[in-house]
Amino acid sequence: MRRFWLLFAQTVTIALGLYMVVQGMQPGWLGGVAPKLQPIGPAMPVGVLQAPPQSQPSAGSYRDAAGRAMPAVVNILTSKALRRNHPLLRDPLFRKFFNERPLRDERQSSLGSGVIVSPDGYILTNNHVIAAADEIEVVLADGRKAPAKVVGTDPETDLAVIRIAASNLPVIVLGHAEQARVGDVVLAIGNPFGVGQTVTMGIISAVGRNNLHINQFENFIQTDAAINFGNSGGALIDTSGNLIGINTAIYSQTGGSVGIGFAIPVTTAKSVMEAIITSGQVVRGWIGIESQDITPELADSFGLGRQSGAIIAGVVRNGPADRAGMRPGDILLAVQGKLVGDTRQMLALIAQLAPGATAKMTVMRKNRQSTLDVTVGKRPRAVVEPE
């Protein structure tokens, strides 16, 4: 009897299991009708929550600043010919033997950004964006395209001015970079990697950055707003949409943004632009010296009681400094009454002097100070090879 009930229970369990499997997979076998999903039509709307339209931007939005500046930021497309000049490539037999294609000029293209600063068509950008370019084309934010001509370049600050012939140009408003402080919110506008005009946000991380060995004259604004390939020459703006810098370089080990970008202050860019438009180049003072910073080690070895100033390491023969009596080993302390802290500051002070003018320079020689009258010369123009 006990065996009978055990067999009966197992049979019922198996039957119920089979019933559930068939009901779930093939209900039609049992005479039922499979449920069908009914399409959702106009008569059956889905209930969702919709925010009311905003008449004003929300707090913390920078759409107005971006909207004011973006039309004045342009894409710059450049190209140059790559000429194949190896003598063997000009030998027809050599080309035939190696199945070489006929000689022709191949072209290399690059991408950058620029900022329209004048309704007359003047555009600020980086020198490295347009260096050695055979052709320059500017693409405006509204889609218009125009060829551009180089007005002038300044490799020592990595700035350049180009010009296009077009009407109804949007112009950016110049801001006050000297008022910028660490922690201020800034926006970077450009065309990274050719994806199209892009705005990124960050803060000012530092001001007055130098000794980066990027340019000869450095006074960078550092920001963590993303700056990538193609952003060079673009705008760094404040929260009012005013231009405070020209995006120039990044620090990166991968080629992409890691939050350390550098922009040339608009004060520097404006002075360079005005000089280029006026005379075609930037004219700077020069006295013909080589210098190095005073380090604690040098101060100890020379027995100096100070660690500011610049040691004159070399003097150009028959140059302005040489004619004024400056000698190697002298320490330059002041230029026109302005104290020299290091070689970068010394270089900037001398560059501001007008060629042909006489400047008073205070030097220390063997722990004795003296003042020299130096007739300032014209700084030779630097030649920077494009990368």
Report, as residue numbers or ranges, the catalytic residues.
128, 158, 232
Residue with tokens 């004060």, as numbered in its chain? 267
In angstroms, how far is the first alpha carbon of the chain from the final one? 98
32, 23 contact by CB (below 8 A): yes
341 within 8 A of 310, measured Cβ to Cβ: no
Q: Which residue has the tokens 């494009």?
A: 386
Q: What's the Rg (C-alpha) of the chain?
A: 34
Q: How many whole angstroms separate alpha carbon 125 and alpha carbon 233?
A: 4
DSSP state of 295: P
Give the Cα separation of 177 and 280 in Å (integer). Answer: 25
Task: Pick the closest to residue 180 from 223, 234, 235 (CA basis).
Answer: 223
- Residue 266 one-letter amino acid: V
Note whether 57 and 63 are within 8 A (CB).
Answer: yes
